[in-house]
Structure 1
């Protein structure tokens, strides 16, 4: 059956319906922090190369061997010794966020991650955070565990201070970012179980559509500090004893716990296009519902079917127009067949002559991030749409005997490859289901096929010429401390100056980055000089092309002494290179 009769009719005549301008939401920024993948670029490389991040539990978390017992029912013991864990959770720069070291010591590491990713997602979108102060930016964060709070509770009677409550309360995950940015849109921490962060995306979209917010950060975060929460999860019965998630595979025996966080910046599509934003992908629609099966934690086929129909009706997308779905896909013997049955009923069997629906799960790469699982799948799907590729879903060899893939018209992505088919528009879905039946599905589409300014790309020959001989171009590098300044220079140098367009980089550094107290300007006429200047700045060494300084009190003054030329032709080079200077000179 068609999800929407009107949409189906337009599809049969070869026309892909445009997104409803009142509903379409643009994703204009992405930031993430995963094991072995601290940036979206690193995360994408991890996915497309088919790697996983599951390891034995680190010794600084708990002694996995001492706690291990292969019997899942053994009291006080764990039958699992693996997970996917972040490094450096103890590292944080409180001064950057105007937080005292004493207060920072009481902050849940999840709060720290949300602050860091909130800053990074704005930078990814080219937004200077200070420009948002007083604006209606919304913040929506999904999270379900509070391990750090339980660590604090153990000694709270003797050690609690005025910072303890705000340091451990989950509401502050969102509120602290809103406070730091000085914004006044909705700010909330969402807990719907494992679907929390995708529900946060849905709520952010609804807030934008209702006009409560002009832009929104949607995020999710999950850390595993205590063996206690792993013991609780293991006794529930859903965890894999061999440290692998076998999504849709015959070996499916549970999920692996994972750590990480991600954030996306959302804006109404019309506003994003009008502002010339770099649109990563478009949210065409989403839906949430609740429904459990035979028990509180058993999924419901009917509820998932209703959810999918509602999401695709809202998005005005028919089954045959969907090419890929990022599964909830934890790799459990019960949950996977139920999810497959619902997908097959709504998006698989009604596909007509269209190829089977491709499915996969990021949980096979980095584990189940629980409260942050939904936004992790969302980021994977967004990057896949952006790059026109679908990464492999790992650990798949033979289908679960309770999942008739051919009959359901589903197929698991076994190798990284190009986006399937020759679709008029790439469309993907993302599912996330909470253990108590709180379900969410989001429908994504590729960005409008324009460059980020909505104008034709520059002529290649002109770009090549500018790469070899440039007018003097300044690259502004700043940091809160001298060490941060050098580190920023090192990061910029690591991107590879020769493959960047220097004028574009100069523009971005000048207009879309916060300018901190410690500053430097690297000037050059050739890419090689820019690279050498960055290397010198990163090493703290002097260089002719580098000027350093620290912002002090008072205003900047510029004096033109009027003493005439010091050499013949002085200023003619600037006139030839910069029309604005030439016009002022002529005037």
Structure 2
């Protein structure tokens, strides 16, 4: 006997911030127009002159373009966040909070009014918080830098007083771009706090956590939220993903693993070239479809099937057909539908 079908999940609110698309409607128009939003990486995000492979070798990257947010500024006064807290926290926190506010408003829950707060939760997909956190960590690496530079100065015969004067000036210059650590520093650099910050701002008691499934993080967040809604653990879920990571750790790493395209991307092509990076945030407000109908909410769409799978002993950084197929089959089985019913496929392709 077939297992009973899971209740459908309604998407009742949507919001996003992506390169050249600050709303879901703008993103949809970009897709219809087949318009790309890739631009040369800004110098303040990555100095290409420093990280070109011809200069840096194995420590370099061939990435030169990305889909970068431009002109975005977090309105801390709107959310009543102290300036010191904003400076101490990775911008991914504030981007997610802003998009969550817009998703709530889109569903008719502006400022959280009308939410069942005790049973509303947040599930955020994120990998590595953001490059702001890693950059800020450079301040705390100063003792290593100081020892290394001092040893070299001594080896070159610098007088002790001149060494000390030089290192004092270098320390001030080294630390100047980064906020002084305070009570907000630790929480502001953690991925799990992104979801917690949204819960804190809206006084939500259903739970808030972040999930890291690499490129699948946003989908994994949606799947977990749907499962929590079906289980009755939540009545409303804010779910999706945020990513603001375009620093050397990722761009050099992706270059070494061969994931970054050296020419135009060729998605779903036998001669795939890899991807170009991007950043942004997209969140959905989810409810059980029956509850949404009872409240008179009109959903954008219904989610009837979702699933998770892995490749087992397949390639650690390379998708395997068997693992991909397993996830798809499980999702269709949960939905109680056949792939023959589908009229549109939307996929992630690298």
1:142 equivalent to 2:125? Answer yes
Q: How far apart, in 2, do the equivalents of 1:279 and 1:133 lie?
A: 18
1:430-449 pair list within 5 angstroms:
none
Distance in 2 separating the partners of 1:203 and 1:294:
24
Q: Tell me the equivalent position of 2:161.
A: none
Among residues 99, 105, 114, which one is paired with 2:96 in the alignment? 114
**Residue aligning to 1:48:** 32
Query: Which residue pairs with 2:135 in the alignment?
Result: 151
Q: Take 1:225 and 1:310, find their aligned partners in 2: how far apart are those partners?
A: 34
Q: In structure 1, what is the Cα distance between the partners aligned to 2:195 and 2:275?
A: 28
Measured in 2, the distance between the counterparts of 1:222 and 1:313 equals 31
Match of 1:214 among 210, 218, 235: 235
Match of 1:458 in 2: none
Total equivalences in the alignment: 311
Aligned to 1:300: 320
2:121–2:234: 8 Å Cα contact kept in structure 1?
Answer: yes
Residue 32 of structure 1 is matched in structure 2 by 16
Separation in 1 of the partners of 2:116 and 2:183? 26
Which protein has the larger Cα radius of gyration, Structure 1 or Structure 2?
1
1:93 aligns with 2:114: no
8 A Cα contact 2:89 2:133, kept in partner? no
What is the aligned partner in structure 2 of residue 276 from structure 1? 296
Contact 1:292 1:298 in 2 (8 A): no
CA distance in 2, matches of 1:308, 1:249: 20
The answer to which structure has the higher helix fraction is 2
**Is the CA contact (8 Å cut-off) linking 2:116 and 2:236 kept in structure 1?**
no
Structure 1, unaligned runs of 5 or more: 8-18, 331-587
Q: Deviations over 1:426-455 (max 9, x none)?
A: xxxxxxxxxxxxxxxxxxxxxxxxxxxxxx
The RMSD of aligned alpha carbons is 2.2
Query: Structure 1 residues 293 and 51, CA, compared in 2 at 3 Å: closer, same or farther?
Result: farther
SS of residue in 2 equivalent to 1:219:
strand
Counting only pairs closer than 5 Å after superposition, residues 286-365 of structure 1 correspond to structure 2 as 286-292=306-312, 294-330=314-350
* Superposed CA offset, 1:90-109 (max 9, x none): x2122222211111111111
Aligned structure 1 segments of 4 or more residues deviating by more than 6 angstroms: none
**Aligned-pair distance for 1:66?**
4.2
Q: Report the CA distance between 1:133 and its aligned residue.
A: 7.0
Q: Aligned partners of 2:2 and 2:117: how far apart in 1?
A: 42
Aligned counterpart, 1:524:
none
CA contact (8 A) 1:141 1:190 kept: yes
Match of 2:64 in 1: 81
Per-residue CA deviations over 1:506-527 (Å, capped at 9, x if unaligned) read xxxxxxxxxxxxxxxxxxxxxx
Bigger mean CA deviation after superposition, 124-133 or 249-258: 124-133
SS at match of 1:110: helix
Q: Aligned-pair distance for 1:190?
A: 0.5
**Structure 2 gap segments, 5+ residues each:** 142-174
Q: Distance in 1 between matches of 2:331 and 2:46?
A: 42
**Map of 1:182-221 to 2, 5 A cutoff?**
182-221=203-242
Change (3 A) 1:326 1:134: closer
Summarize deviations over 1:151-208 as a string: whole Å, max 9, x none: 1111137721111011111111100000100010121000122111101000000111
* Superposed CA offset, 1:124-145 (max 9, x none): 1111313337431110000002
TM-score relative to the length of structure 2: 0.83
1:227 to 229, 237, 248: 248
Q: Shift of residue 320 of structure 1?
A: 1.1
Matched, 1:180 2:201: yes
Which is richer in strand?
1
Q: Which residue of 2 aligns with 1:164?
A: 185
Higher relative contact order structure (alpha carbons within 8 Å, sequence separation ≥ 6): 2
Structure 2 SS opposite 1:138: strand
8 Å CA contact 2:116–2:235 kept in 1: the answer is no
* Equivalent-residue separation in structure 2 for 1:222 and 1:30 (angstroms): 17
